């Protein structure tokens, strides 16, 4: 959604909306997220702060994630608060310590509009677990035959152990 930043009231502008599961596209370059199980709900509160605009928000969604170990899809509830400072004058500033922050916010601004899709996409990726695991003790895939050790039994490991015992 594009949010017009030119008519932010001096107080604040609050917007809440939801995104249907088909909003998530696999070409978002985040292959840990397979898709959405539920619609994503979010709200944004936008208010001016000097030459900057502050965007506070919250989002929640049930995601389908890919397990790092066994590569199966599992459900994960993700919720996140965020606060972002945007400069409305990204090209005006001189090269100073704030340049980096302004560079980052450029992705979110398109003319006078805030691109909420970009913020949501970034927040989802930032708030993924460090390791995506279907269960804490996921056994993963057999490194030899590739079967899913959570649901299948193979004899690779026992064969390996037998060799080990030869010594």
DSSP 8-state secondary structure symbol assigned to residue 141: B
Distance of CA 101 to the CA centre of its chain: 19
Q: Residue 105: phi, psi to the nearest 5?
A: -75, -15
Measured at the CA of 71, the angle between CA 66 and CA 75, to 5 degrees, comes to 35
Token code pair at residue 61 = 């969604």
Least spacing, CB of residue 91 vs Zn ion, in Å: 47
- Minimum gap (Å) between residue 49 Cβ and Zn ion: 44
SS3 percent helix, strand, coil of the chain, rounded to 5, is 20, 35, 45
* Given 54, 80, 104, 142, the residue binding Zn ion (CB under 5 A): 142
Contacts (CB under 5 A) with Zn ion, residues 42-81:
67, 69-70
Whether the Cβ atoms of residue 68 and residue 133 lie closer than 8 Å to each other: yes
Rule CB under 5 A: say whether 149 interacts with Zn ion: no
Residue 15 binds Zn ion, judged by CB under 5 A: no
CA distance 56 to 42: 11
Q: Are 134 and 70 in contact (CB under 8 A)?
A: yes
Q: Does 141 bind Zn ion (CB under 5 A)?
A: no
Residues that bind Zn ion (rule: CB under 5 A) add up to a total of 10
Q: Which of 16, 14, 35 is nearest to 24 (CA)?
A: 35
What's the min distance (Å) between Cβ of 21 and Zn ion?
Answer: 22
Binding to Zn ion by residue 8, rule CB under 5 A? Answer: no
Task: Choose one: 14-22, 56-64, 96-104, 142-150; the region binding Zn ion (CB under 5 A).
Answer: 142-150
Contact between 156 and Zn ion (CB under 5 A)? yes
Candidates 6-14, 22-30, 107-115, 128-136: pick the segment binding Zn ion (CB under 5 A). 128-136
The footprint of Zn ion (CB under 5 A) covers 67, 69-70, 134, 138, 142, 144-145, 154, 156
């Amino acid at each position: 959604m594009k949010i017009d930043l030119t008519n932010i009231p001096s107080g604040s502008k609050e917007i809440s909306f939801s995104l249907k599961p088909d909003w998530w596209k696999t070409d978002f370059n985040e292959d840990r997220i397979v898709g959405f199980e539920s619609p994503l709900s979010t709200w944004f509160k936008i208010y001016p702060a000097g030459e900057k605009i502050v965007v506070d928000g919250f989002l929640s969604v049930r995601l389908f994630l890919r397990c790092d170990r066994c590569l199966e899809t599992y459900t994960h509830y993700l919720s996140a608060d965020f606060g972002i400072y945007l400069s409305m004058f990204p090209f005006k500033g001189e090269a100073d310590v704030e340049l980096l922050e302004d560079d980052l916010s450029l992705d979110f601004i398109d003319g006078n509009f805030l691109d909420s899709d970009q913020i949501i996409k970034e927040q989802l990726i930032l708030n993924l677990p460090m390791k995506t695991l279907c269960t804490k003790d996921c056994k993963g895939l057999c490194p030899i035959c590739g079967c899913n050790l959570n649901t299948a039994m193979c004899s690779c490991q026992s064969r390996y152990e037998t060799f080990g015992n030869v010594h």
